Every structure is written in C-alpha cells, then in structure tokens.
Structure 1
Amino acid sequence: MAFPKLTSFGRFATKFSSRIPLPLALFFLASWLSASVALGQTVSETTGRPIDHAQIGKFLKTYCVECHGTEAQEADLRLDNLKPDFSHATTASTWIEVMDKINLGEMPPEGSATPSVDEVATVAGWIATELRHAERNKLGAQGKVILRRMNRAEYANTVRDLFALKYLPGESPETILPPDGTAEGFDKVSVALMLDPSLLDKYFEVAQRIADAAIVDGPPPFPTEKMRLEMEDIAENRAIRYLCASPGIDCQEKAIVLMQGSTRSFGVMKYPGLREEIPVEGMYRIRVRAWGEPGEDGKPVVMRVQQNHPNADQQLLLEKEVSETPEIYEILVPRDPKCGEYNVSIVNETGFNISSRVGNDVRRKQQEFGEAKDFEQVMRLQSRQQLENLTWSKPNPDAADKSKLRKLVVDWLECEGPLYEQWPPKSHEIVFFRGEGATEDAQYLREIFEHFLPLAFRRPVTTSEVDRVVTLCQSELNSGASFHDAVRTGLVAVLCSPKFLYITEPSTATETRTLNDWEIASRLSYFLWSSMPDEELFALASEGKLRDSGIILDQVDRMLADEKRTGLTRGFGAQWLKTNEFRNFLPDARLYRDYNEKLGEAMVQQPLAFFDQVLRNDESTLAFLDSNWTMVNERLAKFYEIEGVEGDNFTRVMLPQDSPRGGLLGMAGVALRGSDGTRTKPVNRGVYVREVLFNDPPNPPPPNAGEVEPNIQGERLTVRERLVQHQQIQSCAACHRTIDCYGFALENFNVIGQWRTQQDGEDFRGRNSPAIDSSGTLPNGKSFEDFSQFKSLLREQDQRFARGLAEKMLIYALGRPIEASDRGLVDQLVQQMQQQDYTLRSLIHGIVLSEAFRTK
C-alpha cells in the first residue's frame, strides 16, 4: 500500500493552511516523505489457479454454444472460446452473465434442452467460487502481509493506552473518525484501509482534541460539588411543588411517595453559581435514598432513574427492584450539560387492572376517555372528575384505595461531580514525566519526546526523528506559545504521523524476512488487544526475547488474561458474529410490545459476553453450536424467563435441559437480525448460519432475485409456505435448497427471538394460527424434525466449523485474505484445535507460532 503522492499532501497542506502552522505543515511533509522511502512495499504479482475446465466446457457446449458459438452470437455473446481467466475483467463479467442467466432460468431459452437443477448448481457454484478466488488474489499479496494503517478502533485504543485516557460517550476517536473499509468481513485487511486527505482532516481534528485533553492548564475549571434535593423541600419549591397535587403522588413530611409519575431534580439542584445542575461534561455520581412498599399483587417495586439526554441510548441510568427497607442506590455515570435534569419514577411493568367493582360513574368516564387498564389511567380519570366537579358521581372506593397499590418512597436525591480520579490527570503526568518544575527548560522539551516517541511509534526512534518534533515545538516557543501549547503542537504532529498511524514493518526486499522483536510485539498486541504493546511487551522486545516460541506463548496467555482482551472480543468477535447487524430493522412496536431499546442492546451484547466467556475460560468453541449454558443480564434473563439474575452485567447461567437457548443460534439477537421487523426471513437466517458458522457464503443471488413477497389480500400463507412455493421454480431451487434448510430450523424463534410454537407476526394472531414447522434436510442429505435435532446435526460438523473459524481468525490476525498457499496452515490449525478441545486459545497459539505470523 503506497502513501499519498506529494501532490496529494500539497493539496492537504493547502487545505489546512489557515489552521496548521507552517512549521507543523513542514513536519507533516518531512514525515510523509521519510515514511514513503523507509516503508515502501513491493506487491507481488498474483498467480493463476489451475482449473479443471472440462466439465464446465461440456455444459456450455451442450446448452449454450448453439446460440452463442462460432455460427451464432445472440446478444453479441460468444461462449465457445470463453476462457477460465477470472483475473481479466471482461472475461469475468461474461462468466457473471452466464451465472446470472442460468440462475434466473433465462438460459437456455424455452424449447431448448434444459439443464437439471444439479447441473445448474454445479456450474453456478463453480463460477461463484472462481470469482471469490479471483477477488482474494486481487486483494492478497502472495502470502505477504502488506503495510496497513490502524483502523479507528485500534486508533482509539492506542490513544487510550498511550495517554491513560478514559473516554466519555461521544468523545472516543472511534465515534469521530469515519467508518473503515472492510474486506473478507473485517476492518483489519490492509487493502480496505485507505488513507486520503479527507481522512487526514479528521485525524488532525482528533489529534487536537487528544492533545487538549491530555495536557491541562491550572486547576480544574469546575471543582467537584455535591448537590442534594431533600423531599421535604418540594412543597417549598414553586418549580416542582405541583407534584404534591398529583393523585398518584403523596408528599409526606420527609419523603415523597410515588404510585405513578416521577419526581425530578430540576429547579432545585444547581451547581454553585450557575443556573444548571451540570456545568461540564464528565463523570457524576447520582445517589437516591429510597425503598418500596409492595401492593396487593405482591410484586416488587421497581425504580427507574432517567436523565433527559437527547440521545436515547444515554437516557436510562438505572432500573432496579428496591428493597422494603431504606437503602441508598448509587450510579456513576457520564453526564453533560445536555442532560438537563434527571428524574426518579416507579415502573408499572404489568399495569394495575381496574377492579370489577368500579362503579358505573368511572365506567362512563372510561368510555369517554378510552379503556383504562392501569393505575396511572385510573388516577387521571379521577383527577379529571375532581376538576370537572362532577357532583353527580363519586369515585368508587375500591378504585381509589391506595393501600392496594405499589409505592416507591423517595427520601432524597443527590448529584456529585464532576468527578476526577486525579488532577492533573494521568495523561498530563505521562507527557510531563518530570513534573512542571522544568517547563522552561529546552533540554526537558527534548527529553519529553525522547520518552514519548518510542511509545507512540512502538519501536526505538532515531535522533533525527526526535529532532524534527523538537524543532517544531521550539519554533512554536519562539513565536510566543506557552510551553504547554508548544508540546501540544508536538503531540498533534506525532499523532498525525504515518509512523504512528500505520502498523509499520519496513521491507524493500522481495523475499520474506523474519520480523524483529518490536514488530512481533505490535502484531501480538494489535491481534489480541487491538491496541499498542504494553510495558512488558516493550521490555521483552528490547531484550530480543519475543522470537522465542515459549515466551510468545507465555505472553499470549498473559494477554488473554488481561481485561484488554476485550479488544479481541469487540474486534474479531463482533465482526465474526456480525453483531453490528442485529438491529438493522426495528421490530414493529404494535406486534412485538416486549421489545425495547435496552432489550435490543442486551441482545447485541449477549454473543460478545458468550465469546469472552469461552475465551477467558479456555472452553470449547463448539459451545457456539450448542451448549447447556449461556450469558444473560437481568433484562435478557426476564425475556428468556430465567430467574435469579440481577443487574446490567452479564453472568453465566445453566440452562434447563429442554431450553433452546444454548449456543449462538438460540440467542435472540440472531433471530432479530434475520427478520424485517414484522416477519422472519429464513433465507437471511440461512445465509447467516453458513457465513458465520462455516465461512461458506452461498453463491450471490442473480440480479432482481427479490424477496419472498408478503401475503396478498385473502391469503394466509406462512413465510415457509411462500418459500416452498418459491422453490418450485427450478432456477431458484438450486440455490435455496442449500440455504433455506438452515433458516427453517430457526423458525421457532419469532422476529424478536421469542420461542413460539405457532405462527405470529404479519397477519397471524391467536390460537388458530398455523403451527410452526421447523423441519428440513441439510445439503448433506441428513434430515431433522425440530431445532434440537438440527443442533445435533450441527455438532456432527465440528471440523467444518473449526475450519471456518480458523480461516476467519487467520484473516483477522494477518490483515490479509486467505490464499491457496495457506491451505496447509489452515489444515494444521484445525488439527491442533481438534487435539485441544477446539479452544480459541489453541487456535491463537497455532497462529502466533506460524511462519505466516512471524515473517514479513
């Protein structure tokens, strides 16, 4: 991968001439020039793949050449001399046209000899496979790992570890930088990680923010303060004393009792000297002293704490069952001035049904205002009766008896912040490692970057590299900048340097070479942590010990025990399992009322928590095919009807013997992904199973293949019945018979992943809905009657699963596609996994010890 030409940089420098000081622009220029020379790469030419063309040639001769041969070339298409050269664009496009036409049944034409479904499947599959090989050859580099830049997650993690920063929501570079390109399903493949002037614009913006956050001037602008609202103050505060007049709220001498609605902080809790409660973005501690009084139904009282943030995913702070004795509930959360107030409310999850003894007066009001089905509506009706002074009717005593209702008693609310772990922050101490006493010393300026540059560039640096940054900073000082601002300028330059942005492994030779210890340290850390090496890896690299196989394996085990392994979970795990696609379609709120934003978030996090559990405990990856346990938090546990789980953190639970929730395919997020909001999509689900579990994507559909249509008026066909009809079309059957069976097996899971035995969604409701049929026959000829039998058949394909997983992780670790030369390595990795219970650790050990991982 080449760096931008000088002309590109010139346009970049011109674009920012109004914002970047001339010395900084010159530093960028010197960095790019030196990097282009030092890091230049030689990309090898791709080689062709030997192909047995005889069977395909026979197919073309039998069904195609009569109309597209020597004597006739209908539609200007000739196939008798078509070569199997998929690296040539024109030839490849002709093969694609052949594949599309036979898949659509448009060729051969009506009246001609027609190929069988098996023949169509064979030829279309061969063409699709060759196209994938050609694409991989184009993306690959004959087994070599070529230069690549950090993706945005790696950039954010590297900055985090370099400066010991903690990001608040929306502040991480990952949320500011644009999405990265992907290849082979991952954002780690070098050819997809291009760098252009528009991206450099963002890097400059992000680098400025980082430098401003890392270095501080003086004491914090807003010291930590504690603000409290005692409930007895409500009656005296004009802004919120109206709460006491609400029928669903009782104001006591030293507490407020909520039976509906909420109490809030607005108008009382203000930061000293300001009109707002939150003076600046930061971490805040919210505390509530409260307890619950269960009602007639005996169900626990649930308290919800929310903030008025414009972003929906930052509104809910806490939702928890409260005890019957007073307790202090504490939340540590990021907040900013956009949050405004926060409020505490009681949650009526199931509603309060009106007693059958409610009098006719309330019944008439129900008809006027709509059917009242919970206590809040009852209170609203009674309140309106009072306002209208309805003397001809009195509220029914049973409906107004508050002793029967659940109550949340709130004593006080408190907000403390902004909170600081230390001041100046750790990042400031990292940069000014000798303290502030020598901030006017030119030698100290040099020492700062002699200390910082090796960490940022992840290798030893030269004197000239330090000189360039120090000269830049000195020019800022000569122009009147403060010492802090001069160092900030130096940090911006370093963070925009290609030597920081790229995973650098310089090579000018065409032959492979063994990586040095510094390069191995970076490969390890960006593979397992998606971040820079830590102090121990740097120390081992400086001692020349990282080429020792035993030491490398020890480091892998140490790194997988570290919390930073979440980089592998959220990097490899999330992209392998496609969790970012789980919420592509929001469920229809009218049909699926159990679904909400927080439940959707839990569905996304469950497979990641499952992956981390398998990784941390060195368990078999076959658990993804089936398991007797899963990972849930309180919200997801209730959705799955699993008892005894509390809190937002995911915990491991054993599943009942008949539970369908074991393994990846029993997770609600997978079902949600394979739906369109109103109905399930078995084809989509089948493609997911093949891609994720086996790294075996089906052939691409022909153009305008379309979706299975919804029911037309008067029909009540299930999705399965409509797909079976679709398969009666001979040209469609070839593809669908290798996909749909996997999707049919998951039909017991509805749109939001609830287990069902009868059809729901679309026009299906009630007891008379058709029964779910989840039977099918796999491409290998083995049949199943239900989801349980289907998972048993999946477990029989353990080596197929291991091969797909090994291929995926090898792509992720090397940052390049799998090539033909990797076949032997993949075989070896699968064998090693089989011998060690198919663990992720055994796969990782095999990869890091391989020649492919340790050579350039």
Structure 2
Amino acid sequence: MILPLPSPTRTTAWLPVAMSFIVAMMFINLLQAQTPGSPDQAHRSSKKIRPFLKTYCFDCHGPETQESDLRLDTLEEDFNKSTSASSWIEVMDKMNLGEMPPDNSPSPTTAELAEVTHWIAAELRKAERNSFGNEGRVILRRMNRAEYTNTVRDLLHLRFLPGESPESVLPPDGTAEGFDKVSVALMLDPSLLDKYFEVALGVANKAIVDGPPPFATETIRLEMEDIAENRAIDYLCATPGIECQEKAIVLMQGSTRSFGVMKYPGTRDEIPVNGMYRIRVRAWGQRGADGKPVIMRLRQGHPSADQQLLLETEVTDEPKIYEIVVPRDPKCGEYNVSIVNQTGFQITSRAGNEIRRQQQQAGTSKDYEKVMRLQSRQQLENLTWGKPNPDAADTSKLRKLVVDWLECEGPLYDQWPPKSHETLFFQGDDATENEDYLREIFAQFLPQAFRRPVTQEEIEKVVTLCLSELAAGETYHNAVRTGLISILCSPKFLYIIEPSSTDQKRPLDDWELASRLSYFLWSSMPDEELFRLAASGQLRQPGILSAQVDRMLANPKSHGFVLGFGAQWLKTDEFRNFMPDTRLYKEYDDELGEAMVGEVIAFFSEVLHQDESALSFFNADWTMLNERLARFYGIDGIKGNEFRRVNLPEDSPRGGLLAMAGVAMRGSDGNRTKPVNRGVYVRDVLFNDPPNPPPPNAGEVEPNIKGEKLTVRERLIQHQQIPSCAACHRTIDSYGLALESFNAIGAWRTHQDGEDFRSRNTPPIDASGVLPNGKPFEDFVEFRLLLLDQKDRFAHGLAEKMLTYALGRPIEPTDRPLVDRLAEQMRNSNYTLSSLIHGVVASQAFHTK
C-alpha cells in the first residue's frame, strides 16, 4: 500500500494522510495481536503441586474458606488465561515473601517452597513466550531503527554524518527475549509515525539535490611562521614549552591552536556546512634523552566528547604530512595540535621552587601577609610558572614536536550529483522530465525498496502521487521527493512482510528468504547478488545458500550482525548504566568507559570473523585492546584508539568475557560491586538461564550503615538468612561472588576497595564459592575453568539466543529438537559462531513462514 503524502514544501494535507496510515498500521498490528498462543498441556505438573497446595493451602483457600477471595482447589493451571495467571502470581509472591502459609499453619521446607515457586515462574515464562509466539510461525514485523537506517543507507547509497542518521532521530525500539527484533515488541504508534515522516523528509532532501554544491571544496592553511605576526595567537610564542622558529613551531609542552584564524572563504566560520573534511598536518619529531618516540595528537573543539579527538600518531624524525578525513560540522571550533606524554618538563628556577616552598609554609602558619609579599616577589622576578626565567629552562633533553603547517580541505564530495541522486534519476538531469520518466524511475526503484517484484498498480500509485504534485506547481525534483517519502513511510517498506493467506506454515519464496538472510546477517536489505539469486530461483539451493552465508559474513556489512546480535546478547548497552564515583575510582573517565564497551564488541567481532571457538568467551589468552584500555589493564606497548588483538601476559587475570572491565562495571552501582547482578548476568548471557524474578519488596543487599565495615560478601550472606530469599540466591550468588576480584570499574583487586574501604588495612577479597551443581572453587581462575566444563549448556543457550534473533520470535517447545541439533553442530565444529549460523540458515524453521 502506498499512501499519498504531501510535498516536502506543502504539509497542510499531512494530518488526514497520517490518520489513514495509522489506521493501516493498527490493522496490521491487530492481525498480529489476534493470533493466540495455545496452552502447553504437556508441561503441567499437577502431581507435585496439587499435594503441596492441599497440605499447606486449602485450609485457607479451599472449598470451605477463601481468604482474600482466593480459592486454590479449583484454580486452573492454564497460565495463558489472565485470570488464572494473576492468581498464580499472587500465590508465588506471597510464598516468596513468607506470607503463605501463615505462621500458625504447618510450614513447608525451603526446598518445597522453592519447587513450587520455580514451577510457577517457569509456567509464567512459557505463557509469556506463547503470547509472543505463533505456534512456531514467524509473523511479520517492523524493521527496528538500526535496520531502517541501514536499509536507507544501502537503498540510496547514502552516508550519514554524526547526528544525521535516522537511528539518531527515531526513538529506541522495544525488546522481547533480549532483542529488538521480536515482532510483538515492534509496534507502531502515532508518535513514531511522525518520526518516520520527519526522517523520510530528511532522507529525501539529502538524497535528491538541486543545482551545484552549496559550498565548493576549499583548502585553508595555517603556516606556523605566521603565528608570531598574528595578534590573536602570538602569545603562544611566549608560552613555556613552545618555541617559535622561522618556518615552524616547536612544542615541548602545551599545544598550538588555529584560534579561529582558519576561515572558510566568504564566511566567519571554519566549517561552513556539515560534511567530510580532510585535515593535514606537516610535522616531525625530535627525540629526547629518553629515546622515546614523539606522539602527536590532533583535536578539534566540539560539544560532543566523542568527536573531539581527530588523530593521534607517532611522528617520524623526518618531515611528513599526516592526514585524516573526518566528519565535521559548524559546531566544531578551533584545531589543537599537541605533543603527548611529555615527561621531565621543568621550566622554572630553583629560586622559584624556593619561593613556592616558603609560600606553603606561610600559608600553613596563616601568615597571609608573608604570602602576599612572596607572590609579589614571584611576579617581579619572573619566577612564576606562566613567565619563567628563560635562563633556568633546560630543554635540551626533552622530546620535541615540530609543526610546519596545519590545513583543512573541504567540504569533500565523493561525486556531484551524489550517488543517491543518480540512483533515482538514472538517466541524468538532462533526461526529459515527463510522466514516462517518472514511471521508469519508480519501476526501477520500487522493487529494491520493497525487496521483491512489484505490480504495475503499485508503480502507478506512486506515479499518480508525483503527477498531482506537478499539477500543483511543484518542481520535478520535489515531485520525486514526495514519491520517495511515500515509499519510505509505506508499510511495505517499514515491515518485513511474508504474507500468508492461511494459518498453515508455508515455505518462504526466494525473495523472502533473501530478506530474512540479509536482515539476519547484515541488519539491512539484500544486495544485488542476493536479488539476482532470488530472481533466478537459485538462492535456496543448499550449496549456494551456504556460500552466500560465508560471503555475507566476510562483508563489512556483517558489522550489523556484530552490533545487532553480539552487542544485545552481551548487553553492552547496560555497561555504563551507573557512573562510577570518581572520588573512589580516580582511574575512570569517559574514554575508559567507551573502551570497556569497545573491547567486548571487538572481541565478539574477532571471534566471528577469525572463526575462533566461542569458548573463548570463557577463557582466552588474548583480548582486544586500544591504548586507553591497555593502560588501565597495565599492558604496555599499545598506541592509538583502534582496537587490536593482543596476547595477554601469562600472569594476567584477563581473558574471556567475565574478565572484561565492562562486564564488571555493569555489575556495580558506581560505588560497590553487586554480586547478585553479576550472577544474573552470567546465567542469562552464558547459559540463557535467567533466574526467576525476585518477589515484590524483596530489596537488595544494603550498603554499610554508619559504624559497620562489612564486605559485600558478608552483607549478602546476611541477606541469604531470610528464608524466602535463600532458595533463589543459592543458584545465583556463587556466580557473582566469583567475580569479586574485579572492583566496581573492573580493576583487579586483592583487597576491598571503594564504598567505605579506603584505608590500607582492608579485608582481603574472598572469591571462593560452590556452584549450584556442587562444584567448589577457590578463586576466579578455578571458577572460569568450571564454567568451561559446562560448554554443552552454553551451546544450547547460545543456539536458543541465535535462533530467537534470526527468526524474530521466541523459542517454543517444538524448537527443542532443532536447538539440540544446532548445539551438536557447534560441538562438532569447535564451537564456532559460523557453524551455528550455518545451522540456523539451513534449518527448516529459517525457511518457513
């Protein structure tokens, strides 16, 4: 369905159009919601539950007495009925809180209580999955915002600059089963519809251009010898640590700045418009007495911290031009070139040091008159840090960065008109702008957008819309923009549609299979090769399909899978939920926090693309590091912001997912570690076995109150003394306590730190425990090896996660044989992710609507 939308320049007709579109979307969502989940009769457990209820509950909630209007002897075990489910939830909550049975009644054992509450929780989880699922069928779903962004990018050959991406405009998507690809979580409401129109309007204006570029590509250069003659920045030559020469500027400390001197011609700004710019610096280094290389850092002023660093690199001893192409926008301020990691820079005299020592003594004794006299003497004798005595400065042993010039070229254009414009106006702007050309434009474009062959009627609807715009006086380009907006807001574009006229399962056709495959591995639309194979009917052939999986995983677009499946499986978006208290953890900064997330994502990518065993997530002798994270881990020799594979020292506690700082920080609250939170993470991520939700008002391990010095472990043990809490905690806590050797920001520790533990004589860390299977461990190393023994449990959990992500629906009981086969295939292939992906793609479930 193509709905008429207003011209980008005429928006008065938008409201009735929006209402029509909303009705259409509500109809689609209604079709999804009306598919009931059937109760799973095979999983009822009356044999154990009914005797328990009869012994402990019927006296108050049976045929004769119904306290609180709750009767259990006739309560159905059909958890798909809301009335029954709500009663069972009440029973579970009361038992967990210790309110059922009452104190004056016979009391069940903790084990008996745990068995009943776990059964109720499991049945509730199954009912929830039934409500999400459709008896094993995959139902149509909306693209999530990442898929929408990637699809628009590939459809129109667009490159989005920071802040321009549809993903930055569209609101976050709902999630179910841990992923934002499950259909029931991807609803469409009027507010989201407004955002789709806003995004489509921006895409249309970016994709289709009028006339030449608004700003020509220009090159602006700042020659460093001009600094001494420029009154705005000539102070740099008098700054300690900077020396101005005839043809260059020498940095021993501090930085040289453009200070707004570099202006785009005809404007008052350095950057006239959002775009890509090439920044060049001609520089070289002079090593100091320590023999270490000279590191240059190039930064720009920008409100966003992640856009400030442009380049950091080691410079050669001979002059060389260093360049980088980066996105920039008018919010960018001046450039800043500096030397990094300079040490031993002392540019003051002994007399100055003596003056400062006397000032400190006078301040301590509160002799403020003497303090003032000493400050005056500093200024008169040029003994301050800002104006040192030049005769006392010995710079011969220092590293030096020599900068010749700084240059900016831009805005850069790959071509003009851009590729997006040529994609639509494929005959060029010299073509005859008539109705026939409109028909040709959309006959070529629409099958790509809808990811299947289209009918002539679908083409004519868009053409008719464009003709109405031309009749209203709009330009040809604006008419095509309106047609493009209508397509980008159409349900046939927004939804991954696999239509079916019956309730029975059916095989996917090749076009549908191409889309399911591409949105699984790329989070984007099929490319030309997939479309070609679909058109020829060859895609479903096993050998061809397997070869396509290998090709797609090797393609850079597979980063969509890394960010889609990998990041969501490993929950990297939760790593920075709490900001660490920097008074307690002075090592932490935003750059380190970003690196913690980057390590996990880069590790997943390395395991995937190098076909490493997924067991590396348990215990690996390598990890992915950049300079900031390597410095935090105490590993030398890593330079730059890019992540690269690094073999770990033999004595390193790192290696594997649970030794990564980001995972530890996720299981903390900014002040202290939270072992329960960490234990839940281990069970959920590594084994797809999340524990039952806690009862209402269960609380958590409280921080130390005044006068106490209990460790988190000691407080957790106290918490476990509550009978209603003990049953669940015994299956969670050991997983989290094993990670106590990592503090709140993931630093390795042997003694307590953070919170109230700030002295040297703090309690030692106890990371020992006993797993729920009875296996004891003394420390994190032994714990990691015990987890590795559960590799088959891991394979089953990972197969369930992968299948959920690939199909966009929860796992159902009928999927168990497939999950077993996928786990077996992993086991026979060194537990690689690629073997699991191939198994999923080859499965009947993946080929079935």
Q: Could you tell me the TM-score, scaled by structure 1's length?
A: 0.92
SS in 2 for 1:331: strand
Partner of 2:493 in structure 1? 500
1:622 equivalent to 2:585? Answer no
Gaps spanning 5+ residues in structure 1: where? 371-380
The change in CA–CA distance for 1:110 and 1:300 in structure 2 (over 3 A counts) is farther
SS in 2 for 1:333: strand
Partner of 1:361 in structure 2? 355
Provide the rounded CA distance (Å) in 2 between the counterparts of 1:710 and 1:388.
55
Partner of 2:586 in structure 1? 593
Q: CA deviation at 1:557?
A: 1.2
Q: CA deviation at 1:669?
A: 0.9
**Is 1:282–1:419's contact at 8 Å kept on the other side of the alignment?**
yes
1:148 to 141, 150, 154: 141
Q: CA deviation at 1:301?
A: 4.2
2:524 to 512, 531, 537: 531
Q: CA deviation at 1:304?
A: 2.8
SS in 1 for 2:278: strand
Partner of 1:222 in structure 2? 215
Q: CA deviation at 1:767?
A: 3.4
**Most deviating of 207-216 and 108-117:** 108-117
Partner of 2:101 in structure 1? 108
Provide the rounded CA distance (Å) in 2 between the counterparts of 1:837 and 1:392.
66
Provide the rounded CA distance (Å) in 1 between the counterparts of 2:686 and 2:662.
15
Q: CA deviation at 1:342?
A: 2.1
SS in 2 for 1:537: helix
2:39 to 45, 48, 61: 48
Q: CA deviation at 1:64?
A: 2.8
Q: Deviations over 1:200-228 (max 9, x none)?
A: 11111111111111111111111111111
SS in 2 for 1:290: strand
Partner of 1:238 in structure 2? 231
Q: What amino acid sits opposite 2:356 in the alignment? A: V
Q: CA deviation at 1:779?
A: 0.5
Partner of 1:375 in structure 2? none
Q: CA deviation at 1:392?
A: 13
1:550 equivalent to 2:550? Answer no
**Is 1:38–1:506's contact at 8 Å kept on the other side of the alignment?**
no
1:850 equivalent to 2:825? Answer no
Partner of 2:50 in structure 1? 57
Q: CA deviation at 1:181?
A: 0.8
**Most deviating of 295-304 and 741-750:** 295-304
Partner of 2:425 in structure 1? 432
Q: CA deviation at 1:327?
A: 3.4
Provide the rounded CA distance (Å) in 1 between the counterparts of 2:341 and 2:761.
31
Provide the rounded CA distance (Å) in 2 between the counterparts of 1:169 and 1:37.
33
1:745 to 738, 747, 750: 738
**Most deviating of 268-277 and 114-123:** 114-123
1:811 to 795, 804, 829: 804
Q: Deviations over 1:72-99 (max 9, x none)?
A: 4334433333332212223222222222
Provide the rounded CA distance (Å) in 1 between the counterparts of 2:570 and 2:478.
44
Q: Deviations over 1:665-701 (max 9, x none)?
A: 1111111111111111111111100110001001101
Provide the rounded CA distance (Å) in 2 between the counterparts of 1:93 and 1:350.
67
The change in CA–CA distance for 1:112 and 1:17 in structure 2 (over 3 A counts) is farther
SS in 2 for 1:283: strand
**Most deviating of 38-47 and 654-663:** 38-47
Provide the rounded CA distance (Å) in 1 between the counterparts of 2:219 and 2:23.
50
The change in CA–CA distance for 1:759 and 1:26 in structure 2 (over 3 A counts) is closer
**Most deviating of 454-463 and 507-516:** 507-516
The change in CA–CA distance for 1:854 and 1:31 in structure 2 (over 3 A counts) is farther
The change in CA–CA distance for 1:235 and 1:258 in structure 2 (over 3 A counts) is same
Q: CA deviation at 1:367?
A: 6.2
**Most deviating of 315-324 and 85-94:** 315-324
Partner of 2:121 in structure 1? 128
**Is 1:32–1:498's contact at 8 Å kept on the other side of the alignment?**
no
1:559 equivalent to 2:548? Answer no
**Is 1:696–1:804's contact at 8 Å kept on the other side of the alignment?**
yes
Provide the rounded CA distance (Å) in 1 between the counterparts of 2:832 and 2:605.
12
SS in 2 for 1:339: coil
The change in CA–CA distance for 1:412 and 1:219 in structure 2 (over 3 A counts) is same
1:457 equivalent to 2:450? Answer yes
Q: What amino acid sits opposite 1:237 in the alignment? A: N
SS in 2 for 1:510: coil
Q: CA deviation at 1:448?
A: 0.6
Provide the alpha-carbon RMSD of the alignment.
3.1
**Most deviating of 39-48 and 232-241:** 39-48
SS in 2 for 1:830: helix
**Is 1:742–1:778's contact at 8 Å kept on the other side of the alignment?**
yes
Q: What amino acid sits opposite 1:780 in the alignment? A: N
Gaps spanning 5+ residues in structure 2: where? 365-372
**Is 1:775–1:786's contact at 8 Å kept on the other side of the alignment?**
yes
**Is 2:129–2:812's contact at 8 Å kept on the other side of the alignment?**
yes
Q: Deviations over 1:747-794 (max 9, x none)?
A: 111122111112111122353222111111101000111111111111
2:657 to 660, 664, 668: 664
The change in CA–CA distance for 1:48 and 1:644 in structure 2 (over 3 A counts) is same
**Is 1:44–1:142's contact at 8 Å kept on the other side of the alignment?**
no
Q: CA deviation at 1:127?
A: 1.1
1:521 to 491, 514, 517: 514
1:410 equivalent to 2:406? Answer no
1:68 to 43, 57, 61: 61
Provide the rounded CA distance (Å) in 2 between the counterparts of 1:158 and 1:674.
35
Q: CA deviation at 1:512?
A: 1.2
The change in CA–CA distance for 1:70 and 1:29 in structure 2 (over 3 A counts) is closer
Partner of 1:373 in structure 2? none
The change in CA–CA distance for 1:177 and 1:349 in structure 2 (over 3 A counts) is farther
Partner of 1:722 in structure 2? 715
Provide the rounded CA distance (Å) in 1 between the counterparts of 2:343 and 2:821.
55
Q: CA deviation at 1:248?
A: 3.8
The change in CA–CA distance for 1:755 and 1:353 in structure 2 (over 3 A counts) is farther
Q: Deviations over 1:531-590 (max 9, x none)?
A: 000001100111111222222111111111111111111111111000111111111122
1:192 equivalent to 2:185? Answer yes
1:387 to 366, 379, 384: 379
Q: What amino acid sits opposite 2:514 in the alignment? A: A
**Is 1:56–1:123's contact at 8 Å kept on the other side of the alignment?**
yes
Provide the rounded CA distance (Å) in 1 between the counterparts of 2:608 and 2:650.
24
Q: CA deviation at 1:487?
A: 0.9
Provide the rounded CA distance (Å) in 1 between the counterparts of 2:171 and 2:820.
37
**Most deviating of 527-536 and 640-649:** 640-649
**Is 1:28–1:493's contact at 8 Å kept on the other side of the alignment?**
no
Partner of 2:474 in structure 1? 481
Q: What amino acid sits opposite 2:163 in the alignment? A: G
Partner of 1:201 in structure 2? 194
Provide the rounded CA distance (Å) in 2 between the counterparts of 1:300 and 1:37.
63
Q: How many residues align?
A: 837
**Most deviating of 468-477 and 318-327:** 318-327
Partner of 1:210 in structure 2? 203
Q: Could you tell me the TM-score, scaled by structure 2's length?
A: 0.92
**Most deviating of 426-435 and 288-297:** 288-297
**Most deviating of 282-291 and 502-511:** 282-291
Provide the rounded CA distance (Å) in 2 between the counterparts of 1:214 and 1:141.
39
Provide the rounded CA distance (Å) in 1 between the counterparts of 2:97 and 2:214.
68
